[in-house]
């Protein structure tokens, strides 16, 4: 089939990158892009940072302007939710009663915030953060002196904490675990970020288990902890992680397990359907395990790989991922996956506000967390894919460049 009709469900980061790849590779068949948000594909990272702060225009979020899609003949349908997939007929049924036929389909439906399963979660003034529409609601709450309680001390909770604090709000972060970002960074990095937030007036309570949200009429007025303690709040942000948006795929009978299962070619259990981005769980060959990643880099790389494979250009998707988080003037970049490490080496002194934490397994460098350290980050992005085996003494010596530690 020389010009297959390609449909993409979801118009976010992975979808936009897949479209770019199809255009660059000169795909001549029809490309239909369906997005339920009513917006052109845009970048989400600024939603908790500059866009929330009001220092980045809405236009600057867009990955491409509308004319780009029109110029390349992309049938872009924003504001359209795919309701179901008829795999036998290769047809997507849209919520408005129309449908789109495809030869090849990419699911790039992303993820959505995990809901707070507690009494009071439905009150006015309780927010989540995933989309521009969420920011519009959240921003209306931001005013100096107002009290925000953020439930969840992960990246998004802490990024919003930093943005709100810089806007003069009174900020409290509640984290159920014994340290912030505990799922993704080392204790040294958690401790560093806790101290940096505290220094700027953010109150972080770890080991804080929320019991319920307390109303004043229909609006949230406080957060009650399991120990009975109450924290007054003008509004609340719930940031307790995301869940893969795989309901459409599950209903269509595709294999799913914490995301849509794909092979190393980004292909689902249906040979005509691929998946990429936050919604997909893929086998990482480098790490020897199946992973579902939530990052721009992953959406970009998987969107590219899936598009190439849909064009019949066999491309194994096996990238070492990386992720960043900006909080105040601190830039954290994590390269690789640390899950199976057996050794941790700290490079530099956190007091100097630029340091790294290196993770090894059987002597091989598998992940590096960097704080304000571009050189280590850049070196890690070359060394980890190359399976570098650094000398431990050199690795621990910040005077030796990371790239020279082998
Ligand atoms: C506030 C915030 C800050 C972030 N900061 C960072 C950061 O600093 N660094 C980083 O690397 N990553 C960051 N991320 C994560 C990153 O933005 C995501 O990993 C990335 O957007 C995933 O891309 P995606 O294409 O898989 O999903 P998305 O960009 O979420 O796109 C999926 C789209 O599909 C739509 N959709 C779902 N179901 C349907 C349907 N049935 N029909 C039609 N459309 C549908 C969704 O509404 C959405 O528009 C952040 C995310 C958020 C929310």
- What are the pLDDT digits (tens) for 382-403? 999 999 999 999 999 999 999 9
User: Which of 205, 199, 155 has the alpha carbon at shortest distance from 175?
Assistant: 205
Categorize the per-residue pLDDT at 368 as very low, low, confident or very high, splitting at 50, 70 and 90: very high
Asked if 97 and 83 touch (Cβ cutoff 8 Å), the reply is no
Report d(CA 173, CA 151) in Å as an integer: 6
Q: pTM surpassing 0.75?
A: yes
| H-only helix segments in 167-318 | 187-199, 247-251, 296-310
Asked if 147 and 233 touch (Cβ cutoff 8 Å), the reply is yes
Secondary structure letter of residue 278 according to DSSP = G
Residue 113's pLDDT is 98
Asked if 137 and 39 touch (Cβ cutoff 8 Å), the reply is no
User: Which of 317, 315, 313 has the alpha carbon at shortest distance from 297?
Assistant: 317
Q: What angle do CA 183, 160, 11 make, to 5 degrees?
A: 80
- The burial of 305, by beta-carbon neighbours within 10 Å (0-12 exposed, 13-18 middle, 19 or more buried), is given as buried
Categorize the per-residue pLDDT at 106 as very low, low, confident or very high, splitting at 50, 70 and 90: very high
**Which residues have a Cβ under 8 Å from the Cβ of 339 and sit 6 or more positions away?**
287, 289
Residue 2's pLDDT is 60
Residue 254's pLDDT is 98
Across all residues in the chain, what is the average pLDDT?
97
Instruction: Give the DSSP H/E element, type plus range, for residue 72.
Output: none
Q: What angle do CA 171, 173, 174 make, to 5 degrees?
A: 145
User: Which of 367, 376, 184 has the alpha carbon at shortest distance from 284?
Assistant: 367
Residue 64's pLDDT is 97
Report d(CA 41, CA 283) in Å as an integer: 27
Q: Is the CB of 41 under 6 A from ligand 1?
A: no
Look at residue 1 and tell me whether its pLDDT is greater than 90: no
Q: Is the CB of 248 under 6 A from ligand 1?
A: yes
* Ligand 1 geometric centre to CA of 24 (Å): 23
Ligand 1: residue whose CA is nearest its atom 23: 13
Ligand 1: residue whose CA is nearest its atom 31: 12
Ligand 1: residue whose CA is nearest its atom 9: 324
pLDDT tens sequence across 120-145: 999 999 999 999 999 999 999 999 99
Report d(CA 266, CA 245) in Å as an integer: 16
Residue 83 CA: nearest ligand 1 atom is: 41
Look at residue 66 and tell me whether its pLDDT is greater than 60: yes
**Which residues have a Cβ under 8 Å from the Cβ of 199 and sit 6 or more positions away?**
none
Residue 242 CA: nearest ligand 1 atom is: 53
Task: State the average pLDDT over residues 330-337.
Answer: 98
Task: State the average pLDDT over residues 55-77.
Answer: 96
Q: Which residues of 246-277 are buried (b: 16+ CB within 10 A; e: fewer)?
A: bebbeebebebeebbbbeebbbbebeebbbbb
Residue 44 CA: nearest ligand 1 atom is: 17
Task: State the average pLDDT over residues 147-153.
Answer: 98
Which phi and psi angles does 132 have, rounded to 5°? -60, -40
Look at residue 101 and tell me whether its pLDDT is greater than 80: yes
What 71-77 contacts at long range (C-beta under 8 Å, 24+ apart), as own/partner pairs, is: 72/23, 72/31, 73/30, 73/31, 74/19, 74/23, 74/31, 74/32, 74/33, 75/30, 75/31, 75/32, 75/33, 76/11, 76/33, 76/35, 76/40, 77/32, 77/33, 77/34, 77/35
Q: Is the CB of 325 under 6 A from ligand 1?
A: yes
Query: Helix crossing, 13-24 with 296-310: angle to 10°?
Result: 40
* Ligand 1 geometric centre to CA of 303 (Å): 12
User: Which of 275, 330, 289 has the alpha carbon at shortest distance from 110?
Assistant: 275
**Which residues have a Cβ under 8 Å from the Cβ of 399 and sit 6 or more positions away?**
none
* Ligand 1 geometric centre to CA of 173 (Å): 23
3-state SS assignment for residue 204: strand
Instruction: Give the DSSP H/E element, type plus range, for residue 138.
Output: helix 132-139
């Amino acid at each position: 089939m020389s010009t297959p009709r390609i449909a993409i469900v979801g118009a976010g980061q992975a979808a936009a990158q897949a479209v770019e790849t199809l255009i660059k590779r000169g795909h001549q068949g029809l490309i239909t892009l369906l997005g339920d948000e009513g917006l052109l594909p845009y970048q989400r990272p600024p939603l908790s940072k500059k866009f929330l702060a009001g220092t980045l225009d809405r236009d600057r979020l867009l990955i491409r302007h509308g004319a780009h899609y029109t110029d390349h003949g992309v049938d872009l349908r924003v504001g359209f939710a795919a309701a179901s997939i008829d795999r036998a007929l290769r047809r997507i049924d849209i919520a408005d009663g129309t449908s789109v036929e495809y030869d090849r389909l990419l699911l790039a439906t992303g993820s959505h915030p995990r809901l707070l399963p507690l009494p009071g979660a439905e009150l006015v003034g309780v927010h989540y953060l995933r989309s521009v529409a969420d920011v519009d609601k959240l921003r209306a709450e931001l005013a100096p002196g107002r009290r925000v309680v953020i439930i969840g001390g992960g990246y998004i909770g802490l990024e919003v904490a930093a943005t709100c604090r810089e806007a003069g709000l009174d900020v409290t972060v509640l984290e159920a675990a014994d340290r912030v970002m505990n799922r993704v960074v080392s204790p040294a990095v958690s401790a560093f970020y806790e101290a940096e937030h505290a220094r700027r007036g953010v109150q972080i309570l770890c080991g804080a288990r929320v019991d319920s949200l307390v109303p004043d009429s229909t609006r949230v007025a406080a957060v009650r902890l399991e120990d009975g303690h109450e924290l007054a709040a003008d509004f609340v942000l719930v940031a307790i992680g995301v869940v893969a948006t795989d309901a459409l795929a599950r209903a269509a009978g595709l294999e799913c397990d914490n995301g849509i299962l794909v092979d190393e070619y980004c292909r689902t259990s249906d040979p005509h359907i691929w998946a990429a981005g936050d919604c997909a769980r893929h086998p990482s060959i480098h790490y020897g395990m199946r992973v579902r990643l939530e990052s721009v880099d992953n959406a970009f790389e998987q969107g590219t790989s899936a598009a190439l494979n849909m064009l019949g250009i066999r491309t194994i998707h096996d990238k070492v991922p990386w992720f960043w988080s900006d909080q105040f003037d601190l830039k954290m970049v994590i390269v690789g996956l640390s899950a199976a490490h057996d050794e941790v080496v700290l490079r530099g002194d956190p007091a100097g506000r630029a340091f790294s934490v290196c993770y090894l397994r059987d002597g091989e460098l598998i992940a590096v967390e960097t704080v304000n350290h571009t050189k280590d980050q850049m070196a890690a992005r070359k060394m980890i894919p190359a399976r570098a085996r650094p000398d431990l003494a050199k690795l621990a010596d910040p005077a030796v460049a990371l790239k020279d530690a082998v």
